Amino acid sequence: MLGGGIGGIFFHLSRHSNPKSFLPETIGLLLAAGVLYVIAAYIVERYPLGWTALAIILGAALAFRFSALSTEPALSSDVYRYQWEGRVQRAAINPYTAHPEALKHLALEDPPHPLDTGRSTPTLYPPLSEWSFSWVRTIPGYKRLYTGLDVASMAVLLLLLKIRKQPRARVLMYAWNPGVVVAFAMCGHHDSLAILALLAANLFIIRKLETLSIFFLALSFLSKFFAGLFLPLFLKRTGWAQGGLFLAMIAAAYVPYASAGSKLLDGLVQYAAGWENNDSLYRLFLLAGNSKAQAGLISGILLAALLAYVLKRRLEPLHAGLVLMTGLLLLSPNAFPWYFTWVIPFLCFYPHPPLLLLSVTCVLGYSPLVAYAAGEQYTDLPLIMVLEYAPVLLWLSYLAARQTGNSKIENRV
C-alpha cells in the first residue's frame, strides 16, 4: 500500500502536461511521498521481512523510476547543461576553456531550453562526467543512463548488505527515497555515476581488495569531487603508497584536456566563489557576522576536525561515509537537493532518524524554483530553510548532547 501511494504520486506527476506550472503542488506531493517513505523505512527496521517483501521493494522501486523517466526535468535544468557540454566535446572543443556565452554562435544549446545559469562559466565537472556527457545526445537518453547507474547502485547496496549480514530489505532506504527518484529518473543528474563508483570502492575496501577500492574511489572523484573527502580514510586502510595510483589516474584523466592549461579549474573556482544555495550551517556562520572567507574557513576547520575524528575513532568505511557526507553537506555553501543523494545510500546501513528526515525535507530546497519560474529572482526563502533544516539540526544536537552526557556518566563510573 505504501509503495502504491508513492508510485501513484510519481505516476500523477508524470501525467501533468506542464510541470513548471505545477511546482508548488509537485513539492507538496514529494513531501507526501516522503511521509510514506519514512513509514515504510520504519516497517523495514521494525519487522523481519522475507524474499517476497524484497521483491516488492525492488519492483516498486523500478516502477517509481519508470514513471519519473517520462516526466519533464522541471525541478532542475542541469541536464540541459550536460547536453550542451556533450555537444561541445563532439565538436572537438575543450569544455574547460569554453562557456555557453562564448559559443552561442554555434547553436549548441537546445532551442526550447536555453541555458540561463552559468553562461559565462566553463565546466566545473571532472573528466569522467565530461565523457559521460558525450556518450548521449538526448535528454531522455541522459535520464536513462543515469537512472541505469542508479539501479546499479541498488545492486551494489544489496551486495554490501549481504556481506555485512544486514537485512536486504534495508535497500528500501535508498530505493524508495523520493529525492533519489527525482534526482536521477526525473531530472537526470549525473551524481549516480559518482555514487555507484563510491559504493563499489566501499565494497572492495570491505573485501580488502585495496587496489580496486582506490581505483573506484578515483573514478568517483573523476565524476564528482566529493569523493576526495574519502581518500585519507581509504589510504589509512590500504597504505599511503596507494595514493600514487589515485593521483596517477587523476592526472591521466585530465591529459586530454591539458590544452586548457591554467584555466583547467576556472569553472570550479568561479562556482566555489560565487554560488550559495540551500546552505544550513554555512549560512548561520554568515548570519553571525562572518564574511564569506571567514565562514568558509570555519566550515573547512570543522570538516577537517570531523575527518580527524573519523580517523581517530577508526569508524568502518560505511559509517565514516555517512558522517563525512553529512558533515560536508551541512557545512557547504551549496547543498542542492540532489546532493543529499550522496548521504542516502549510507542510511541502508545506519538508518539514523534525523538523517532519514533530512532526506525527505531536502526536497524543500527546490522551493526557489516556484518564484524563478514566474520570472522572479532565484532566492532561498528563510521560512522554507527553517522548515527544511531546523528540525534536523535540533534533533542532531539533542542526540549529540545526550551522547556526551552518557559518556561523562560512564567515565565517572
**Tens-binned pLDDT, residue by residue, of the chain (413 aa):** 788 899 999 888 888 766 667 888 899 999 999 999 999 999 999 988 889 999 999 999 999 999 999 888 989 889 999 999 999 999 999 999 988 888 888 888 888 888 888 888 888 899 999 999 999 989 999 999 999 999 999 999 999 999 999 999 999 999 999 999 999 999 999 999 999 999 999 999 999 999 999 999 999 999 999 999 999 999 998 888 899 999 999 999 999 999 888 888 888 888 877 788 999 999 999 999 999 999 999 999 999 999 999 999 999 999 999 999 999 999 999 999 999 999 999 999 999 999 999 999 999 999 988 877 767 788 888 899 999 999 999 999 988 888 766 655 555 55
* Alpha carbon 303 to its chain's center: 18
Q: Compute the CA torsion angle 177, 216, 163, 209 (nearest 10 deg).
A: -170
**Do 366 and 73 contact (CB within 8 A), yes or no?**
no
The per-residue pLDDT for 402 is 83
Helix, strand, or coil (residue 334): strand
The per-residue pLDDT for 19 is 67
Cα distances (angstroms) measured from residue 58 to each of 69, 116, 168, 346 = 17, 37, 11, 18
Q: Which residue carries 543512463 as its cell?
A: 145
**Do 195 and 345 contact (CB within 8 A), yes or no?**
yes
The per-residue pLDDT for 44 is 94
How far, in Å, CA of 28 to CA of 366, rounded?
Answer: 11
**Do 33 and 10 contact (CB within 8 A), yes or no?**
yes
The per-residue pLDDT for 199 is 98
- Is 150 exposed, middle or buried (CB count within 10 Å of its CB: 0-12, 13-18, 19+)? buried
Closest listed residue to residue 362, CA positions, set 117, 140, 37: 37
Counted residue by residue, the chain has a size of 413
Backbone angles phi, psi at 53, to 5 degrees: -65, -40
